[in-house]
């Protein structure tokens, strides 16, 4: 059995809650199963066989006491009998029969009968009908049946099923329960809620509880789902990578409250259909009548990178939820004063925190999702203002709003939007980074890390784009700098926005070496579809964006001391752009390669090049 052990967590003279596992253990004991086997099947993995032996003694005392209290005299006596006190009737009867060899020696020592004839004589003489009645064996058989019946009676009357309000210490192994309690998980209901919030890797939030122990706990909770009144969701027990983005397990039902746009059910009085800032009798029907429909139409019209679209959704979502739940207004009823209050007051400190602020690691599909992970910096507030101002202008242009309520909101004072000059490496620093990570012989991890560094520098990709890159995204095409159709080079296809980025031959060679070190074909085309370019060297799965960030931080901070406190993952992206522009690359070419929505963003890199000069 792989469920948590049934060992008593409190080591008292009796057991508070008897489970079916307890009775299964004691039934095996009465049937004569060895203590060692019982310990292997039911025992606590953290103790030796003596723990199971003590538990059996404790069960014997507990069951006898319970039988006495109910005046079940027979059970009181029978459940204290130890294995061997009632010999098995079949074993007793079998032990009285002679072997076939002994029968031959006694009946036919000279070998007169054939083997078949001797076997027929043996069966005739020792058949069940001709065997003498063994009254002792018959009595023992009856005693064993009565003992089994007594144990079944006690199980039916005493066994308890786990309930949500039961402490975890009453059901789980003491060491595991201890660790759960240190994570503020005190009851089974707390445990179920914690798993639902955290998902498949919930155990990462509990110190010294690993995947195997977590699997046993989840299996046990699933076994008792009926009595607990809760079946763990597919989202909670399935690794996220195994769920498609459109999997029903990830879909939240529509509801009112602080929920994402895709699950929001706006009350009819606040849906914006009668907003006070709505355009009166527009000349052309805009095609949407509520604020939520208008926001979705605006988001659909934004043909930018995935990162940009997520930012637009985040800001419009926050404003809509604030309008409904903090102001009690439709978004299309917000005034200029309301919008100024939102930017200048609310975003600085979203309160009440329990209502608005959650963890960055909670997915949008989870009930504990919140629109904020903390107060916004001045730069983030200015970004929100700019995005919402653009949305207001678009809605006015669509004849949905009569005026843009953010038109009079003052800009939030901030420093440079992208500090490229202060967050990129000089050519000399980059050479030091490359030299420090170059090896004659690489370990698999060192090779993977150097490939990540080189791929990021040569392409300027964001870490999320690097994490999504697979062999299926690699194609061979004519080099941009060559007119010879035979001069092919590898290119990486990137989405959001769609673009192709050439991969230098030196980086391709690192990729081939990395694939071979992982036991894969050296030719990317020969690899299985969607083989990640940057993989976890233990699991083989694609590195997450956070995992790639950790690689960059570790590599950079280990070479350049000043980066130890702030080794941002954007240093490599900025360095790529800075060096490319210094070498004469066109600004629009860099814009296309980086996937910038606006050329003005790329021009910040140009300014940085002139400010820093040649190093």
One DSSP character per residue, 421-452 reads TTSS--HHHHHHHHHHH--SS--HHHHHHHHH
Angle at 68 between CA 67 and CA 71, to 5 degrees: 90
Q: Does residue 186 share a domain with residue 132? A: no
List Cβ neighbours of 385 (8 Å cut-off, separation of 6 or more).
343, 406, 409, 411, 412
What is the secondary structure of 190-252 as a DSSP string?
A: HHHHHHHHH-TTGGGGSTT--HHHHHHHHHHHHHTHHHHT-PPPHHHHS-GGGS-TT-GGGPP
List Cβ neighbours of 36 (8 Å cut-off, separation of 6 or more).
49
Write down the pLDDT at residue 14: 54
Determine how many CB atoms are found less than 10 A away from the CB of residue 423: 17
**Average pLDDT, integer, range 498-518:** 91
pLDDT tens, residue by residue, 319-378: 999 999 999 999 999 999 999 999 999 999 999 999 999 987 777 888 889 999 999 999
Signed CA dihedral, 11, 13, 16, 17: sign only:
positive
561: its two tokens: 């001391």
Q: Does residue 138 share a domain with residue 180? A: no
pLDDT at 452 over 90: yes
Share of the chain above pLDDT 90, in %: 37
Instruction: Identify the helix (H) or strand (E) that includes residue 477.
Output: strand 474-478
Q: Evaluate whether residue 54 is within a structural domain.
A: yes
List Cβ neighbours of 410 (8 Å cut-off, separation of 6 or more).
340
365: its two tokens: 């599909």
List Cβ neighbours of 315 (8 Å cut-off, separation of 6 or more).
383, 384, 387, 388, 391
> CATH number, domain at 432?
1.10.443.10
Higher-pLDDT residue of 480 and 312 is 312
Rounded Cα distance, 14 and 208, in Å:
29
Q: Evaluate whether residue 555 is within a structural domain.
A: yes
186: its two tokens: 């005190």
Rounded Cα distance, 10 and 168, in Å:
12
Give the sheet arrangement for strand 499-502, strand by strand.
474-478, 488-494, 499-502
**Average pLDDT, integer, range 194-199:** 88
Q: Does residue 453 share a domain with residue 332? A: no
Three-state SS at 1: coil
Write down the pLDDT at residue 567: 52
Do the Cβ atoms of 225 and 232 come closer than 8 Å? yes
Q: Does residue 606 share a domain with residue 502? A: yes
Determine how many CB atoms are found less than 10 A away from the CB of residue 551: 23
Rounded Cα distance, 565 and 567, in Å:
6
Rounded Cα distance, 413 and 415, in Å:
7
Q: Does residue 387 share a domain with residue 500? A: no
Please give the sequence-ordered ranges of beta strands (E in DSSP) within 484-556, or none if there are none: 488-494, 499-502
Q: Evaluate whether residue 342 is within a structural domain.
A: yes
Least confident of 143-152, 200-209, 559-568, 589-598: 559-568
Higher-pLDDT residue of 407 and 159 is 407
pLDDT tens, residue by residue, 544-580: 888 898 888 888 877 776 654 555 567 788 888 878 8
Rounded Cα distance, 559 and 569, in Å:
15
Q: Does residue 587 share a domain with residue 506? A: yes
Least confident of 66-70, 139-143, 186-190, 527-531: 139-143
Q: Does residue 181 share a domain with residue 156? A: no
Q: Evaluate whether residue 402 is within a structural domain.
A: no
Cα 517 off chain centre by:
28
Write down the pLDDT at residue 244: 78
Torsion of CA 426, 430, 432, 438, to 10 degrees: -170
Q: Evaluate whether residue 405 is within a structural domain.
A: no
Write down the pLDDT at residue 324: 97
224: its two tokens: 């008792």
Mean pLDDT value across the chain: 82
Q: Is the pTM of this model over 0.85?
A: no
pLDDT at 108 over 90: no
Helices of type H across 10-134: 20-30, 35-42, 49-69, 73-78, 89-96, 100-107, 115-125
Higher-pLDDT residue of 412 and 415 is 412
Q: Which domain holds residue 358?
A: 252-397
Q: Does residue 358 share a domain with residue 276? A: yes
Cα–Cα nearest to 426, from 587, 583, 602, 575: 575
Q: Where a domain ends, among 97, 127, 160?
A: 160
Q: Does residue 579 share a domain with residue 443? A: yes
Write down the pLDDT at residue 12: 41
Three-state SS at 258: coil
If you average pLDDT over each of 105-119, 507-521, 585-599, which comes out highest?
507-521
Q: Evaluate whether residue 50 is within a structural domain.
A: yes
Q: Does residue 257 share a domain with residue 201? A: no
Angle at 340 between CA 304 and CA 311, to 5 degrees: 20
Q: Evaluate whether residue 225 is within a structural domain.
A: yes
**Average pLDDT, integer, range 61-72:** 84
Write down the pLDDT at residue 11: 41
Question: Strand pairing of 499-502 and 488-494?
Answer: antiparallel
pLDDT tens, residue by residue, 271-320: 999 999 998 876 566 788 999 999 999 999 876 667 788 899 999 999 99
List Cβ neighbours of 128 (8 Å cut-off, separation of 6 or more).
none
pLDDT band at 86 (very low <50, low <70, confident <90, very high): low
Write down the pLDDT at residue 96: 57
Do the Cβ atoms of 72 and 153 come closer than 8 Å? yes
Least confident of 40-49, 230-239, 356-365: 40-49
pLDDT at 482 over 80: no
Q: Where a domain ends, among 178, 210, 242?
A: 242
Write down the pLDDT at residue 16: 66
Number of independent structural domains in the chain: 4
Q: Does residue 223 share a domain with residue 327? A: no
Write down the pLDDT at residue 564: 47
Cα–Cα nearest to 459, from 519, 451, 43: 451
Determine how many CB atoms are found less than 10 A away from the CB of residue 207: 10
Q: Does residue 104 share a domain with residue 178? A: no
Q: Where a domain ends, among 180, 212, 242?
A: 242
Q: Evaluate whether residue 403 is within a structural domain.
A: no
If you average pLDDT over each of 177-181, 220-224, 285-289, which comes out highest?
177-181
């Amino acid at each position: 059995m792989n469920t948590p052990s049934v060992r008593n967590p409190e080591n008292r003279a009796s057991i508070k809650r008897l489970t079916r596992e307890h009775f299964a253990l004691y039934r095996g004991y009465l049937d004569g199963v060895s203590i060692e086997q019982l310990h292997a099947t039911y025992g606590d993995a953290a103790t030796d066989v003596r723990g199971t032996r003590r538990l059996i003694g404790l069960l014997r005392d507990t069951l006898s006491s319970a039988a006495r209290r109910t005046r079940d005299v027979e059970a009181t006596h029978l459940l204290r009998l130890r294995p061997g006190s009632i010999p098995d009737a079949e074993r007793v009867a079998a032990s009285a029969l002679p072997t076939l060899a002994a029968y031959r020696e006694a009946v036919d020592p000279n070998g007169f009968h054939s083997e078949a004839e001797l076997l027929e004589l043996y069966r005739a003489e020792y058949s069940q009908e001709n065997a003498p009645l063994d009254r002792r064996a018959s009595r023992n058989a009856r005693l064993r049946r009565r003992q089994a019946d007594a144990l079944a009676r006690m199980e039916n009357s005493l066994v308890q099923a786990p309930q949500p309000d039961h402490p975890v210490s009453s059901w789980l192994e003491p060491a595991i329960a201890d660790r759960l309690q240190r994570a503020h998980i005190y009851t089974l209901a707390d445990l179920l809620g914690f798993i639902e919030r955290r998902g498949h890797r919930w155990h990462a939030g509990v110190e010294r509880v690993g995947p195997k122990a977590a699997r046993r706990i989840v299996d046990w909770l699933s076994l008792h789902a009926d009595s607990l009144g809760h079946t763990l969701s597919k989202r909670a027990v399935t690794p996220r990578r195994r769920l498609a983005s459109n999997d029903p397990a990830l879909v939240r039902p529509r509801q009112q409250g602080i929920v994402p746009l895709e699950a929001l059910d706006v009350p009819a009085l606040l849906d914006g259909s009668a907003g006070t800032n709505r355009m009166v009798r527009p000349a052309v029907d805009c095609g949407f009548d509520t604020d939520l429909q208008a926001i979705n139409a605006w988001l659909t019209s934004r043909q930018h990178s995935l990162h940009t679209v997520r930012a637009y959704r985040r800001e419009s979502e926050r404003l809509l939820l604030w309008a409904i739940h903090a102001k009690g207004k439709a978004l299309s009823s917000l005034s200029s004063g309301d919008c100024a209050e939102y930017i200048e007051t609310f975003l600085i400190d979203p309160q009440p925190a329990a209502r608005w602020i959650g963890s960055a690691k909670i997915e949008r599909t989870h009930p504990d999702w919140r629109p904020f992970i903390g107060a916004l910096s001045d730069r983030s507030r200015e970004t929100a203002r700019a995005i919402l101002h653009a949305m207001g202008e678009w809605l006015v242009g669509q004849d949905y709003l009569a005026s843009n309520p953010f038109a009079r909101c003052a800009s939030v004072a901030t420093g440079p939007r992208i500090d490229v000059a202060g967050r990129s490496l000089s050519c000399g620093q980059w050479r030091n980074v490359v030299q420090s990570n170059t090896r004659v012989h690489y370990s698999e991890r060192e090779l993977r890390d150097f490939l990540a560094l080189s791929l990021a520098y040569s392409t300027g990709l964001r870490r999320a784009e690097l994490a999504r890159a697979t062999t299926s995204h690699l194609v061979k095409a004519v080099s941009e700098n060559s007119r010879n159709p035979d001069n092919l080079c590898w290119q990486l296809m990137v989405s959001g926005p769609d673009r192709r980025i050439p991969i230098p031959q030196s980086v391709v060679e690192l990729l081939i070496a990395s694939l071979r070190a992982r036991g894969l074909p050296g030719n990317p085309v020969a690899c299985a579809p969607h083989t990640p370019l940057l993989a976890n060297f233990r699991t083989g799965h694609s590195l997450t964006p956070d995992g790639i960030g950790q690689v960059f931080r570790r590599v950079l901070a280990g070479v350049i001391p000043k980066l130890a406190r702030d080794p941002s993952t954007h240093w490599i992206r900025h360095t790529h752009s800075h060096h490319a522009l210094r070498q004469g690359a066109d600004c629009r070419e860099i814009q296309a390669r980086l996937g910038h929505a606006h050329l003005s963003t790329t021009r910040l890199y140009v300014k940085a090049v002139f400010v820093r000069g040649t190093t």
